[in-house]
Amino acid sequence: MQLEEVVEICRDLSSEVREMVRPHLGEKAAREMQGRGASGDSTFAIDEVAEERVESRLEGIPELAYFSEDRGMVGTETARWVLVVDPIDGTRPAAAGFEACCVSIAASRYHPEENPQPTHGDVVYGLLQEIKNDAWFEAERGKGCRMVIDGERAEPCILPHDDISTLFWTLGFRGRPALPTALVLEELIDRSSVDGGIFDLGSATYCITRLLTGQLDAYVDVGDRMIREVPRVEEMFLRAGHGHVLNNSSYDLAAAGLIAREAGLAIGDAFGAPLDGYPLLASGRAGQLSCVAAVTPGLLRALVAEIDAGIGRMRAHYGW
């Protein structure tokens, strides 16, 4: 199977999931709990609709394995490609009927023996499609980013911005303990919330693509860095996550990371390092990562410096 065939399958799958999910946006029944997925996060009724569509669409294609939030790794020994799928990135906004929800699909070459553990650096194709609005973003490694808004081809509108006091940015907060997260981000929040703007939109993919539409300047998620650097905070994450550590995982960032880089954004983890070395198919803590995306490399460095100071502030507050 060639990449061109994989791309067509990804596009078809994304459209089918979108059409399946879209009628359920905002329905009260969409919020019903169905259990917990392989990630430990809540599975809502609207998630299950989407996951079932992915499962039915990809079964019977032995060359393709897939890895998703709720199903984990699914595939056979004959698979030579793996799709990293989040059928609804932004489940809670979708359940509420908001627009901050996307289908996210990334593709990597795969072999159960020769290449059983691909990383984010192995992703060769990424696709994000908004569920409520008519917009999609895709990239093939080394070939740039393509955007289509309301049926029309659009160019990325990346607006350079380096002033934190007037920053328009968004953060990842779901499942993160409120007080230690706020301590790490305190100065960023205080410096930008009046002359700039801070948002929690509930979808990493939607947030990162807002940097391509010119609506936002940065996306910041510090959760995984907090635990890696200060392991004692993990207990607070477990409490906030109802017994699970909930941070961004590969299915949240695999497609968005490639699209961001191909479009010219600065993106890395909350230490400022590239995302390429993170595992693509790991579940639970092993598959989690932090993320900072910014419209300029200088802004990314400034945000990481603020996070550095914030980690110290959190340590001092708790006496760690």
Q: Is the dihedral of CA 139, 170, 148, 154 positive or negative?
A: negative
Please tell me whether residues 196 and 232 are part of one structural domain: yes
The residue type of 106 is A
The whole-number pLDDT of residue 72 equals 86
- Confidence bin at 36 (pLDDT 50/70/90): low
Please tell me whether residues 204 and 243 are part of one structural domain: yes
Q: What DSSP string describes 165-196?
A: GG-EEEE--TTS-HHHHHHHHHHHHHHHTTTS
Please tell me whether residues 183 and 141 are part of one structural domain: no
Query: Which has the closest alpha carbon to 249: 209, 279, 293, 218?
Result: 279
Please tell me whether residues 184 and 269 are part of one structural domain: yes
Please tell me whether residues 79 and 193 are part of one structural domain: no
Please tell me whether residues 134 and 219 are part of one structural domain: no
Is the model's pLDDT at 69 over the cut of 90?
A: no
Mean pLDDT of 69-85: 89
Please tell me whether residues 218 and 84 are part of one structural domain: no
**Which of 103, 119, 154 delimits the end of a domain?**
154
**Which of 154, 174, 206 delimits the end of a domain?**
154
Please tell me whether residues 29 and 133 are part of one structural domain: yes
Domain count within the chain:
2
Q: How far apart are CA 159 and CA 156, in angstroms?
A: 9
User: Domain with 79 in it: what CATH number?
Assistant: 3.30.540.10
* 139-186: pLDDT as tens digits: 999 999 999 999 999 999 999 999 999 999 999 888 899 999 999 999
Please tell me whether residues 170 and 148 are part of one structural domain: no
User: Which domain range does residue 214 map to?
Assistant: 164-318
Q: Please state, rounded to an integer, the average pLDDT across all residues of the chain.
A: 93
Structure tokens at 13: 């799958």
User: Domain with 304 in it: what CATH number?
Assistant: 3.40.190.80
